[in-house]
Amino acid sequence: MQMTPTIAIHMSAALTALLIGPFALWARLGRTVRPQWHRALGYAFVTCMLGAALSSLFIRDFGLPNIAGFTPIHLFVPLTFALLYRAFAHLRAGNVQGHRRAMQWLYFSACIVAGAFSLLPHRYLGNLLWSGLRAWM
């Protein structure tokens, strides 16, 4: 697999979500509450997550175990959509704690866990990382 525009879009959106996620999630914590920052970073985080999930639907790998090119890591796409829906449903109902939990689960599962799976040796990002480390040593 090689770098394509779709993969570049996906990686950009996913890495941006990974970086701004903690700031969006914890902007409301602490002594100084910053709701404007939370909302702005939250919208950016949601936009990046939607971009990453949608772009991943156009990335297929027939070299790994798959169904029509979709590998097991693609199971995070419906999970992302479900958690985003759930987070905003909680928010609409006024359940701030439910919204917080859903967004924390989204960050952990779709950014941290899926990101860790993308670093496996037979994935594109994993091949870049591991071959680069071998060449460096």
Percentage with pLDDT > 70 across the chain: 93
- In angstroms, the CA 113 to CA 83 distance is 15
pLDDT over threshold 90, residue 88: yes
Res. 86: pLDDT tops 90: yes
Which residue, chain included where needed, has tokens 């919204």? 99
- pLDDT band at residue 136, thresholds of 50, 70 and 90? low
Nearest to 10 by CA among 110, 135, 137, 130: 110
Domain that residue 72 falls in: 5-136
Q: Which two tokens stand for residue 128?
A: 């870049």
For residue 35, what are the CA distances in angstroms to 53, 109, 112, 115, 117? 26, 24, 25, 28, 33
Count of domains for the chain: 1
Q: What does the angle CA 112 – CA 125 – CA 131 come to, to the nearest 5 degrees?
A: 125
Per-residue pLDDT at 69: 86
